[in-house]
Amino acid sequence: MTKTYSSKVIKKYSPNQARVMRVNTSHGEFLTPAFMPVGTRAFVNHLTPQQLVDAGSQIILGGNTYHMLCSPGMDIIEKAGGMHQFMGWNKPMLTDSGGFQVLSLSRNSKICKIDEDGAHFKHPITGKILHLNTATSIGAQKIIGADIIMAFDQCTPEAGGREAAVQAMERTHRWLFDAKEMHNKNPLSAYGYYQALFGIIQGGSFPDLREKSMQTILDLDLDGTAIGGEAIGYDMPKTLEILDWLGAHLPEQKVRYTMGLGMHPQDLIDVVAKGVDIFDCVAPTRNARHGSLYSGRIVDTGDWIKFESDFDRGRLLIKTACFATDEKPIMEGCECYTCKNFSRSYLHYLFKQKLPFYPNLATIHNIHVMHKVCEVMREKIIGDSSLCSE
């Protein structure tokens, strides 16, 4: 078997811990830092695969394991030849294990219960009890056929304190050992190509637990390292603190992934400075369809970059009455299809009238901004934009 996955740092940035990596997969290569739009249900909301590419997408998170098990089901995905074929995406893809859904669903014990054997939950349509554990999660991800797959984990809740963090971490480690054993026996997708397996560092907001979880994952010599838990991406000060605890010890040549991070363009800038390579978040698409559009300036500060904006949290609220006659684009200097062709006034009109054209144009813009921030970071790190071409 030829291993079709590799990752290599091609340039490090001395003022901070930022770096550019070249990652090769069975569906092509991508350069980091890279934002991954989220296609939870086998599509990224309001965008076609070609629009994703045009907006700058190199890799996506495609097909959440929990949702794909619920619908359309693994039989249909396998018959289609995998998620790439099913959703018409021919570039690299990462999928998740369903661990976050285990956390969110388990808050209602009538819907989902967690025990040592995994999560038992009711199908949202049929009511049938489904069992999501290491075996079913890894098995489903092999049928999904993503280039990067995640070990099944229990996402650490922030509200549970140390006892809950220890329990989630230790269970995650036990499930990880099972995932590694399964991966060693068969590291290929259902379609014959190699899948990279990442482990997920848990441990909540406790430095010793995070370090213990990290070491457990490093000892298994996996293809990459994800940093999970409810705080990551939702609490940025805590996220950056956790990265400070871990950063110096993470393997240099392996991808570092902060899960569920990317509510704001500045979030990407902040974690890349801590050595993170990839990230995903539903916020850019969700914000877009609810009328919250990124607007600002990517400013070179000398040592690094930042996202400056005249709007609160860097987001323009397109429903605001002042935009009804504003003929400027969403973001001055933006080269996305939306900004080059349509005004704030037009988007205000579409949004207020709830017209179906609006979410497509809005999502194109928000996704483009996230990718543009990554592109500027790559250029800043490397110092030669020609090396950063996608």
- CA separation for the pair 236, 387 (Å, rounded): 30
Q: What's the N-to-C CA distance of the chain in angstroms?
A: 28
The active-site residue out of 96, 223, 267, 277 is 96
* Candidates 147, 280, 310, 312; catalytic one: 280
Question: What does the H/E/C string look like for the chain?
Answer: CCCCCEEEEEEECCCCCCEEEEEEECCEEEECCEEECEECCCCCCCCCHHHHHHHCCCCEEECCHHHHHHCCCHHHHHHHCCHHHHHCCCCCEECCCCHHHHHHHHCCCCCEEEECCEEEEECCCCCCEEEECHHHHHHHHHHHCCCEEECCCCCCCCCCHHHHHHHHHHHHHHHHHHHHHHHHHCCECCCCCECEEEEEECCCCCHHHHHHHHHHHHHCCCCEEEECCCCCCCCHHHHHHHHHHHHHHCCCCCEEEECCCCCCHHHHHHHHCCCCCEEECCHHHHHHHCCEEECCEEEECCCCEEEECCCHHHEEECCCHHHHHCCCCCCCCCCCHHHHHCCHHHHHHHHHCCCCHHHHHHHHHHHHHHHHHHHHHHHHHHCCHHHHCC
C-alpha 354/C-alpha 163 separation (Å) is 47
In Å, what is the CA distance from 258 to each residue of 33, 46, 127, 164, 319?
Answer: 11, 24, 33, 21, 32
CA-based radius of gyration for the chain: 20
96 classed as catalytic: yes
Residue 280 designated active-site: yes
* Cβ neighbours for 386, distance < 8 A, ≥ 6 positions apart: none
Residues with catalytic roles: 96, 280
